[in-house]
Homo-oligomer: A and B are copies of this chain.
């Protein structure tokens, strides 16, 4: 049987997960693909760094360069994370014409174009199924499964930590801070949780998915982002009363083109009211899901674990099989890392994006309050589709929930600033966008 030797850089959580999964299912994979993948060496930071699965001492080294440069190493995994050393590792391997498999979304977001160009220049390839929604083969689905589709809409729950927190807030009627604290204690959230809960991790993933769906490189900085810190138990409860669930949703929409403007897309990450009847509303706990609408295929959804050593390992193994087969068949450029087929594309500023909205205001229950708020919305040409105001005694501060019709984000932001300045409105108005799919 054809043999391919693998050099692994990184033997921590993900690296040892890949090592373990490959050792477990190596002969099954070989039987399936007709190529045996042998782990030649694993370069680690330190022999005794903590890792969930053990790696035999004899397989490890702390000298990554001997691994990458070993002429008997045919392909390389970069599973160290970060954007500096990882970049060096990948560029070194690509320059030697060796295919590289990575799970590093942050690196792809920052240096994707440079890495793709290096792979092309050296006639090899970069594989990154594991970088977005680990266990879900979404990159293969977009590039190969839906190759005959224009992707008009893509919605993703792509951060497991946020989805876990929002799920518990909903199911238990709990507060954000309490759930975050528990999630940290249980290892579902980092001690420094900002990357997840402020939406930056999702921003990286949505940037990569938008690039693949639309064929031009989307800089993650162009992906508008809002995290979930501001979501309260009350928002969850009122949303549910209206038939919605709040999810941190990545949204990628193909917008109508203006003449000669090239492709225009929305690419954003923000808390979103999802109708309870939609499949995405039922994606709970740490699970991820990506909803894709293609012009030919219609509506589809992919669901699975987005992170964790095992789900990520599954994706890395898929890439290892592709890379091994491409080595065997000399088809390294068969499905290139990224094809920039759209000459001109642009992510529109969020102010121009049109949505529906859920507003939660704290107002003084006094005559004329509603009239003043409605006047500001009316002037801005923003329609109100429904109102909830729980009964209260006059003079008290009460929540006022407004559902607004479609309007540009910019108009709503301006109207909200005015509403927030009304003396009868207490605290900062809460605005959450609504998606009807």
Contacts and interface: CB of A to CB of B under 8 A. Distances in A.
B301 A303 contact: yes
Contact of A341 (B32, B318, B320): B32
A314 interface: yes
Interface string A29-66: 10111100000000000000000000000000000000
Nearest to A303: B301
Contacts of A294: 314
B31 A215 contact: yes
A252 to B, nearest CB: 17
B24 A295 contact: yes
A148 B305 contact: no
Interface string A376-409: 0000000000000000000000000000000000
Given A148-B29, A321-B148, A297 B314 contact: yes
Interface in A315-342: 315-318, 320-322, 325, 328-331, 334-335, 339, 341-342
A317 B147 contact: yes
Contacts of A303: 279, 299-303
Contacts of A295: 24-25
A304 B137 CA distance: 15
A372 interface: no
B300 A304 contact: yes
A296 interface: yes
A28 interface: yes
A142 to B, nearest CB: 10
Contact of A21 (B136, B296, B320): B296
A297 B311 contact: yes
Given A25-B296, A301-B302, 20 more contacts: A21-B296, A24-B295, A31-B215, A31-B341, A129-B145, A137-B141, A140-B141, A141-B145, A145-B318, A146-B314, A146-B318, A148-B314, A279-B303, A297-B315, A298-B310, A300-B303, A300-B304, A325-B335, A328-B334, A329-B334
